[in-house]
Structure 1
């Protein structure tokens, strides 16, 4: 135990006198066994870089960890993990499930970053809401004297003398000082003489033999482990890859491999290419030249009209993820085409034929902006925006109208943690098609074909099965995902409406109606959302059941001042008849949107113990496919993790009119205005 006095004395001296610290937490911001940033078994005060995500697998017998970690805000990391206990089984009724598995969510906040004379300090809570088999709470500090990083902390629960109580709130360190009477000290040091590797030495406070709630304890930890000292070698063969080899507890070797990626960074750069006009078009009227150019650049429903020195252009964005990038492509194209006779230009931006906004500027200002004589902010200040264009202001003859459009993508979905098997899945392809009947009106259909599908469940539907019978639908190899008529309408005063009728989703058919208004330049959206639906028959493509359900919800979306963070609220009656509130937080990382949600509803309508007093919760990731394609695309891939076997706080799955409104709001154009300069990457790449 001489290790601790020496470490404590060292850190006290460092905190008082300071030392030379390298910038940030690197290179000591790598994963511990369970995925959170730390050494081996203990955390340090470092956090994963903001906007990064980490995924990995580790094994230190008898534990195997599967984890994911991300930093949604500077100084904060959130992790999710599954702990598998090798050799420890589950009840016989859970055959094919494999070994025992525990799920948990962890949170760490770096309350004080490292300074020249002070250490970094962090607070952490492990598994505050789950089973708390491996729950812990800790305060830890770390200090660099490069290439050394020293860590000292104190922890309770898993890191203390006894486990935390399952019934507590999960955040006892903030309101129950008594939890620290069973706390223990921990510490360690990491030595990084090279960017490619580092050496780790730590003292682990975990008393494995005393944690009797751990399913591994009766089989593996009946007596004290041989040593609390752990050793590790961390390898960094590539910037994104981390491999840690270790010898822990004086008896077992371990390995931990993880990948760290910047969220939203494309695998292949999406570099815009300029429009090159064929020579034979140079003698055509300017209306035809502009229309043909925009059609070549991926736009549709293009109308162009020249009146005197005024050029009016309307177009629909079918290709670019966000409106500012689409506008940038139009500006880039126009600056090389506009003849001497044009003085003013007006652009009208449309989606599905519905006008979202218009912008007017002079040809001279556009040329100065492109050539660098005007900054982006200066050009924006000279533009005149209209964010309430009800009808196209000019009569044109649009060309390139795409009546029928379709998209397809490979599809892979998981079904996790069922007693009949922890990991189940379906793989195949999905195809969606739309036939445009008029402005904002279309017939839409989507099908899924899953030739590889092993999804099944031994869990039966609950008392009001609005979602807990989902397996009866998704175990099919062919799915009619939706078939409906939908209409989106814009009214004056920033009012929008949406109606969808037909087979709305895999489980429900009926009608969905939404109305919404934009306030404060799009920072706040308010509205209502109601559905009247009938359950579909799972084994008949177009079959319906008799029982009806309805929702009646007020909703709002607030785009907070925090970069990329928005909050969605739904309040009212949900599908099963439970009333209450659902809160969803959305964080945008360069186009990748990560959402988490939690519900508070009156669950007394349910007769079963699984839905009673339950709070629906989950996480969803929306990924732009252009990250993998190396070209512009509006398509996204969605992946969500949520308990399908519960029925609390559920709505039908349908289009959200808020997403439609966001695309053309002043707030969104201001936030992503840098995307207008699409030609910058092309110029910097030396292709000009």
Structure 2
């Protein structure tokens, strides 16, 4: 009889929530069958629609699209995301080829670039008798040159999809009828013509002026690769932005969409009876993506099933299945008692095969505990499964529970425990995953008596080299300013909780010699000196800091840091976070004294300094895995305000989000361009893209302007990120990877 496990001192989590295994593709992968009615196409302006106009349709949840369209004289670069089934968001750059950006002394011959953010919300879905209905707005976060609001309906009839809508502003410039909202106020009769200024929400225009009708038909041909579109355009092109009026012989636009493959659409059209148009759409679904084969990962250790187990489990229908291909039959004598195991060899195997950098290994009765940091596998269940295989091949049956106690930079976060016999039954196909769930636990880390079997020596130094790329879009100097650089990084560990790390960057090539424009600002230039930081030196030290972490108490974490904290600021600061285990919320705060660094990004400083920091509350709403983060505090320019960040995380860890910051300087003459800071972003685990496992992420941020108001310190580490292993939802939804 095995020794009973030590009693848990906190809530025990059993019956983990389900596992999500999906089957769609990134551009490089294969795909499952796709229902034709779900494959909605994008408009010239981005977002699901016909050509110039939207429909009430929505892309599949998690869809991510890049659309490049050309309709003389406009070229649109659109990024569209579908974070929720009923919400669509887009970010767009528009190149106006027959207008200059500004005076030739400022921008030379560069053509005008306009930035904008769009949103569309579905009010209700289509039913047997009623159409789908959506409301939306274009150019709500830019200059307002192409601003428009609309209500649109869509109804399907066989291969035809009909849409009809009413638009105000750019899309409804024909002004077919008097404004139905005039009964509310006479203000709705007239739409302001002046721009609200870069970066402002043009709410003073919403649903004002005479609206125009728009609509059309999309026909899905018998060939899956061909769709045809006919559209009534609500714009008469006689009142174009910048007096850039265009001829229009008739208000009907025609187009054909050629689906080159499941991830690439080519649209050819004829619009306004005047111009031929073209667009290409590259799209994928982040929610249903299937990772590429991990050909560069080591294979999991084969499992050694005993030829004559002492206790045969109850028979099940699955027991007739043959053992997995990587199973072998072994003599139980090859496994030894924990006291006789070569633990240094086990620690090496755990590092090389399971990605766990072991700090110590201990025993609690019949439970073996591996303390360490997962450095390779994004989905921790995969590392736990590999670790269980390694232990099963070396340790005798006196151990029936394996626990991986996760650490991150010295912070102990969560213990994941697997019942060893049930794990073997899962690998042998004698039980299914739902049955196995009941023998997996996640618990908070608590101090318990433990026999130490092995303590790993601390690895003092590690480092590496990489290539990097950064860019700035849409400025007056050039549409794309870019830099390719090489970076060397290194970390020296004094203890597991105290380390010194840094990054040295070497410019390889760039076009920042064109970067001459400084954005206007009446606040301290805390971010708009970007040009000087990017062009003053080819060899820079973006980061060099001493960092320490400490677990201050149950569910309470702390961190302190000092040095060159980012490319523009050095100083010292600290952060605390309370993140209770098993809860969907957390609260934290950071305080920093920082001084502006010299433009060469060496050890020199400029005169400006400030105390900055925010208190932040995090809430996983439980609604479609939407997380809300609200920060309140002081920003780098000394302004006080609030940042709201809303993001949706999918089962595989991909995330879509948006943020906005409003401070006491917003809307004032001192703020500079725009009235507040805002942006949309997508964060993709590298594990979804690479042929080897990785815990890193790629984050793409679309930000209309770089401004001084609402600017935050770009810290290298945050406690919320360091404690990400406490996200049990991500573990639960990817539990199936434990047997891979």
**Do 2:461 and 2:491's aligned partners in 1 also have CA atoms closer than 8 Å?**
yes
Equivalent residue, structure 2, for 1:416: 473
Deviation (angstroms), 1:32:
1.4
Equivalent residue, structure 2, for 1:537: 598
- Of stretches 38-47 and 87-96 in structure 1, the one that deviates more from structure 2 is 87-96
Deviation (angstroms), 1:608:
3.4
Q: Alpha carbons of 1:396 and 1:538: their partners in 2 closer, same or farther (altered >3 Å)?
A: farther
Equivalent residue, structure 2, for 1:673: 732
Separation in 2 of the partners of 1:321 and 1:263?
A: 16
Deviation (angstroms), 1:526:
0.8
Pair 1:497-2:553 in alignment: no
How does the TM-score come out when normalised to structure 2? 0.81
Separation in 2 of the partners of 1:419 and 1:465?
A: 19
Separation in 2 of the partners of 1:640 and 1:408?
A: 24
Cα displacement string for residues 480-499 of structure 1 (whole angstroms, at most 9, x for unaligned residues): 11101101111222110011
Equivalent residue, structure 1, for 2:422: 365
**Do 1:352 and 1:439's aligned partners in 2 also have CA atoms closer than 8 Å?**
yes
Q: Alpha carbons of 1:28 and 1:344: their partners in 2 closer, same or farther (altered >3 Å)?
A: closer
Moved over 6 A (4+): 277-281, 604-607
SS at match of 1:608: coil
Equivalent residue, structure 2, for 1:558: 619
Cα displacement string for residues 485-530 of structure 1 (whole angstroms, at most 9, x for unaligned residues): 1011112221100111111110111112001111362411112111
Equivalent residue, structure 1, for 2:241: 213
Higher relative contact order (CA 8 A, sep 6+): 2
Separation in 2 of the partners of 1:654 and 1:172?
A: 37
Equivalent residue, structure 1, for 2:301: 275
Equivalent residue, structure 2, for 1:16: none
Equivalent residue, structure 1, for 2:70: 59
Separation in 1 of the partners of 2:667 and 2:548?
A: 34
Separation in 2 of the partners of 1:679 and 1:303?
A: 22
The correspondence of residues 141-152 of structure 1 with structure 2, limited to 5 A, is: 141-152=153-164
Separation in 1 of the partners of 2:451 and 2:488?
A: 36
SS at match of 2:221: strand
- Of stretches 546-555 and 504-513 in structure 1, the one that deviates more from structure 2 is 546-555
SS at match of 1:586: strand
Separation in 2 of the partners of 1:580 and 1:243?
A: 45
RMSD across aligned positions (CA): 3.1
Deviation (angstroms), 1:330:
2.0
**Do 2:98 and 2:111's aligned partners in 1 also have CA atoms closer than 8 Å?**
yes
- Of stretches 455-464 and 315-324 in structure 1, the one that deviates more from structure 2 is 455-464
Separation in 2 of the partners of 1:643 and 1:104?
A: 7
Cα displacement string for residues 550-607 of structure 1 (whole angstroms, at most 9, x for unaligned residues): 1132112111212332122211211111111111122223223333211121118987
Separation in 1 of the partners of 2:449 and 2:464?
A: 28
Structure 2: 5+ residue stretches without partners: 1-33, 176-189, 305-329
Cα displacement string for residues 6-34 of structure 1 (whole angstroms, at most 9, x for unaligned residues): xxxxxxxxxxxxxxxxx988366101111
SS at match of 1:26: helix
Pair 1:244-2:267 in alignment: yes
**Do 1:97 and 1:420's aligned partners in 2 also have CA atoms closer than 8 Å?**
no
Deviation (angstroms), 1:671:
3.9
Separation in 1 of the partners of 2:211 and 2:157?
A: 31
Query: In the alignment, which of 628, 631, 638 is matched to residue 577 of structure 1?
Result: 638
Separation in 2 of the partners of 1:625 and 1:125?
A: 33
Query: In the alignment, which of 144, 156, 168 is matched to residue 156 of structure 1?
Result: 168
The correspondence of residues 303-314 of structure 1 with structure 2, limited to 5 A, is: 303-305=360-362, 309-314=366-371
Q: Alpha carbons of 1:376 and 1:408: their partners in 2 closer, same or farther (altered >3 Å)?
A: farther
**Do 1:578 and 1:605's aligned partners in 2 also have CA atoms closer than 8 Å?**
no
Separation in 2 of the partners of 1:382 and 1:433?
A: 40
**Do 1:508 and 1:536's aligned partners in 2 also have CA atoms closer than 8 Å?**
yes
Pair 1:73-2:132 in alignment: no
SS at match of 1:269: coil
Query: In the alignment, which of 177, 181, 195 is matched to residue 224 of structure 2?
Result: 195
Cα displacement string for residues 50-73 of structure 1 (whole angstroms, at most 9, x for unaligned residues): 101110211111111111111000
Equivalent residue, structure 2, for 1:8: none
**Do 1:445 and 1:484's aligned partners in 2 also have CA atoms closer than 8 Å?**
yes
Cα displacement string for residues 32-58 of structure 1 (whole angstroms, at most 9, x for unaligned residues): 111221111222221221101110211
Deviation (angstroms), 1:400:
6.7
**Do 1:294 and 1:300's aligned partners in 2 also have CA atoms closer than 8 Å?**
yes
Cα displacement string for residues 106-139 of structure 1 (whole angstroms, at most 9, x for unaligned residues): 1112222223333222222111232221111122
Separation in 2 of the partners of 1:643 and 1:184?
A: 30
Count of residue correspondences: 648
Query: In the alignment, which of 359, 380, 387 is matched to residue 323 of structure 1?
Result: 380
Equivalent residue, structure 2, for 1:431: 488
SS at match of 1:397: strand
Cα displacement string for residues 72-123 of structure 1 (whole angstroms, at most 9, x for unaligned residues): 0012211111222222223223324621222111111222222333322222
Separation in 2 of the partners of 1:90 and 1:644?
A: 15
Equivalent residue, structure 1, for 2:49: 38
Structure 1: 5+ residue stretches without partners: 1-22, 683-688
